[in-house]
């Protein structure tokens, strides 16, 4: 299984980079994980938000193959438990899909182009997180999902 996280923006905080590196290392026995950072487009006029989100979507879609399973992180996505998340990943793997791509948008969200391409729309919480924190939370939950799928112990 190959997992990619496509995220707009670069991580700046050292502690977040270290946390993500730690979970990437822990995931090595279970999956190949790649993080693709794309430069968000600066929005200087609020009237252009939709247009810019569509331009960002085109950049994101260039990294997505037709056979990839896409999970977009969205405010209106489905809220699930860690066990349900693990089951979702397991089901995708059992369906013979070899690549899952998670998409994290910019601070203005995601274009409808991404939502329409997504096979599944996921929300991590009803709370709002900084996009940099979202990456760390997501990668930790991916790691937790693999531990659950393998029946291995991990913090509950």
DSSP 66-106: TT-EEEEEEEEEEE--HHHHHHHHHHHHHTT--EEEEEE-B
Give pLDDT, residue 29. Answer: 96
| Cβ neighbour number for residue 135 with a 10 Å cutoff | 25
Listed residue (9, 31, 26, 18) closest to 132, CA to CA: 9
Q: Are 116 and 71 in contact (CB under 8 A)?
A: no
Predicted TM-score (pTM) of this structure: 0.95
Cα–Cα distance list, 150 to 18, 136, 144, 145 (Å) = 25, 21, 10, 9
Q: Which CATH architecture has domain 2-149?
A: 3-Layer(aba) Sandwich (3.40)
Closest CA to 61 of 99, 115, 106, 107: 115
Q: How sure is the predictor about 131, in pLDDT bands with cuts at 50, 70 and 90?
A: confident
Taking only the tens place, the pLDDT of each residue in 24-59 is 999 999 999 999 999 988 878 888 889 999 999 999
Q: Which DSSP helix (H) or strand (E) runs through 58? A: helix 49-61
Q: What is the pLDDT of residue 155?
A: 63
């Amino acid at each position: 299984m190959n997992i990619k996280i496509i995220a707009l923006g670069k991580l700046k905080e050292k502690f977040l980079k270290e946390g993500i590196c730690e979970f990437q290392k822990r995931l090595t026995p279970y999956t190949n994980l790649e993080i693709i950072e794309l430069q968000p487009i600066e929005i200087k006029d609020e009237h252009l938000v939709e247009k810019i989100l569509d331009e960002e979507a085109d950049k994101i879609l260039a990294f997505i193959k037709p056979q990839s399973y896409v999970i977009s992180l969205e405010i209106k996505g489905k809220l699930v438990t860690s066990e349900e998340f693990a089951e979702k990943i397991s089901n995708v793997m059992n369906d013979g899909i070899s690549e899952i791509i998670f998409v994290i948008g910019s601070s203005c969200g995601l274009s409808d182009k991404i939502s329409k391409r997504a096979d599944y729309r996921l929300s991590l919480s009803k709370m709002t997180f900084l996009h940099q924190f979202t990456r760390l939370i997501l990668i930790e939950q991916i790691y937790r999902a693999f531990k659950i799928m393998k029946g291995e112990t991990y913090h509950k």
